[in-house]
Amino acid sequence: MTDSLLSKAATMEIPINSNGDSRSAEDDSLEQDLQQVMVSGPNLNETSIVSGGYGGAAEGIIPTSSIKAPGMHHSNSNPSLMSEEATKGVAVEKFDTVKKWSINTYKCTKQMFSERFGRGTKTVDLELEAQIDVLRETKLKYERILRLARELTNHFYNMVQTQQALGDTFADLSQKSPELQDEFGYNAETQRLLCKNGETLLGAINFFVSSINTLVNKTMEDTLMTIKTYENARLEFDAYRSDLEELSAGPRDAATMMRIEIAQQQYQIQKDKYERLHSDVTIKLKFLEENKVKVMHKQLLLFHNAISAYFAGNQQQLEQTLRQFNVKLKPPGSDKPSWLEEQ
């Protein structure tokens, strides 16, 4: 009975309007006022908080734009946070690079030992490998020619300097020895002529040495560097090929199929790199051979004609040889070629 009375009392405290809504007329009026304020009121970015209640004094107004909630700062306003994020990004990038390098090194080392002990297969182009072996052997022989030509230059330079000193001594004695003036005189003239021709021959030999040095230490060396890159690419290609073959021979579950797909992509990348470098080496070897024949044909002809004219005593032929090959001589009295010029 008590519960019935309480229920009745509660029902009587909540008036019900004609629409069955529990809100009073006062509540409806308040809601309409709020809607009007929301429609006709200022923008949220321009609203203010009144300290003294609604309709208070203007000096109590605090602009909401000056109030910032904690944690709402943009990342651009915190340089230390940006720096920390950048550092983390660089660290992650370096870690990925080291990881890829480690995996690649492991695969290549494994492939290298497999080839060395006869357990792994190796991709070989017999024709290209033969050309590479010939180039390496040719470079060794040309290096010997270069070394001997430099020794000849040094020895001949010393001889020319000795002839010049001897000619000066003969000339001096010709002035001081009247009884032997003619003998000392024509010997001095002979040594001076030999010295002049010797300097001309030195110009030809130095030109020969410079051209051989360029051919050996620049042109051939550049081709050998490309060959070295090609050989590294070949090892990587075989390493990833062997890895793909091992995975393909194993079970075909979902995880393995994912690994096989990744290995197939890596294999294709290495294959494209290997084929590109294979083509580069083939082209460079072809151009190197053509360039070598052209250079050596000119230099060997120069060397032969200059040496023959000098030892035959044909000064005109010697000078004509240098003009024929556009060899420029240093002015008379110049010092011995510097170390850089001899290299």
Q: What is the pLDDT of residues 58-94, one digit of tens each?
A: 444 444 444 444 444 444 456 677 777 777 777 777 7
Give DSSP secondary structure letters for 185-196.
HHHHHHHHHHHH
The candidate with the shortest Cα–Cα distance to 238, out of 106, 103, 111, 105, is: 111
CB 220 within 8 A of CB 142: yes
Q: What is the pLDDT of residue 340?
A: 42
The candidate with the shortest Cα–Cα distance to 146, out of 200, 60, 50, 215, is: 215
Q: What is the pLDDT of residue 333?
A: 47
Q: How far is CA 320 from CA 31, 200, 302, in A?
A: 115, 11, 11
Give DSSP secondary structure letters for 263-297.
HHHHHHHHHHHHHHHHHHHHHHHHHHHHHHHHHHH
Q: What is the pLDDT of residue 28?
A: 52
Residue numbers of the chain with a pLDDT score lower than 50: 1-27, 30-31, 33-76, 333, 335, 338-343
Kindly report, residue by residue over 237-281, the tens digit of the pLDDT. 888 888 888 888 877 788 888 888 888 998 899 999 999 999 999
Q: What is the pLDDT of residue 91?
A: 73
- Write down the mean pLDDT value for the chain: 77
On whether the pTM is more than 0.75, the answer is no
* CA 48 remoteness from chain centre: 61
